[in-house]
Amino acid sequence: MKVICAGYPKTGTKSLSAALTDLGYKVFDYEEQFRYCGRRLQSLMDDGLPTEEIREMFEDVDVVIDIPSSCLWEEIYKAFPEAKVILTERRSEDVWLKSWLNQLKVVEDDMWFKLLCVLSYTSVRFAMYSRAQLRTAFSLEVNSLGGGRSYNTQIIRSRYRQHNQYVKSVVPKDQLLLYHPSDGWSSLCDFLGAEVPDRAFPHVNKGGTVIHDTIVFTPTFQQMKRETLVNGIIVSFIFIVLLLKFLDVIPR
């Protein structure tokens, strides 16, 4: 592990993830963490894991970014004390909160995502995993991934402030970069000792569009779609058989 990105979601993590990938790092973003480490990260969030197991989980990974690793950054840092830490923040807490709540709304309003969560058994794990993340990051307990939910914004604000301040107070200054993607390549590459690329810095997930991209392109959600298709066919077949029996079309 070379870099631990401790910034909360909607602080430019997707743009930073793309930039670090562009620099040649093996990055475990949200999707990779769920796909390859989901069960162990679930255990870490629910019950904790020994430092040795955390080290083994990420020993072949260069960078972790986004939740749940950003919430669990200190446990990962203990396993990799030589790693550099990048803390992304928004310029304003109000701007961050608005962006984060909008991200949640985009997820909750996506009908295809809701369908996946009903007919895919991988989504059962994903729902439990998502609830654990909200609990770990913001001390929020939710019972479903459905829409229409209200959130305690005072708690969310408080956890965001506490998280950022704690990272700044714990990580040695020579291992910590306070960063926003609008800072561009220069400060990031200087911190990492990397050559500045001759191309524009990536700008990803403006307006929460990453949800659509995740559902369309990522392997985990491709698997969910396959499961949804198969299970949808099975459910439809059973429904038709029962309907025909009810109508006495099929002999009892």
Distance, in Å, from the CA atom of 91 to the CA atom of 144, rounded to the nearest integer, reads: 32
Q: Is residue 44 part of a domain?
A: yes
C-beta atoms surrounding 8 within 10 Å: 23
Supply the pTM of this predicted model: 0.82
Q: Is residue 58 part of a domain?
A: yes
Q: Is residue 32 part of a domain?
A: yes
Instruction: Supply 42's token pair.
Output: 């679930």
Q: Is residue 160 part of a domain?
A: yes
CB contact at 8 A, 76 and 54: yes
Distance, in Å, from the CA atom of 75 to the CA atom of 67, rounded to the nearest integer, reads: 13
Q: Is residue 251 part of a domain?
A: no
Quickly tell me which residue has 């080290």 as its tokens. 55
Residues spanned by the domain of 118: 3-246
In the chain, where do the E strands start and end?
A: 3-5, 27-28, 63-64, 84-88, 176-179
Radius of gyration of the chain (CA): 21
Q: Is residue 181 part of a domain?
A: yes
Domains contained in the chain, number: 1
Q: Is residue 105 part of a domain?
A: yes
Q: Rounded to whole angstroms, what are the CA distances from 213 to 8, 17, 218?
A: 20, 15, 8
> What is the chain's pLDDT, residue by residue, as a tens digit (252 residues)?
999 999 999 999 999 999 999 999 999 999 899 999 999 999 999 999 999 999 999 999 999 999 999 999 999 999 999 999 999 999 899 999 999 988 888 777 766 666 666 667 677 788 788 889 989 998 877 654 444 467 889 999 999 999 999 999 999 999 999 999 889 999 999 999 999 999 999 988 665 555 555 555 577 777 777 767 776 677 676 767 676 677 765 555
Q: Is residue 252 part of a domain?
A: no
End-to-end CA distance of the chain: 63
* CATH number for the domain that contains residue 186: 3.40.50.300
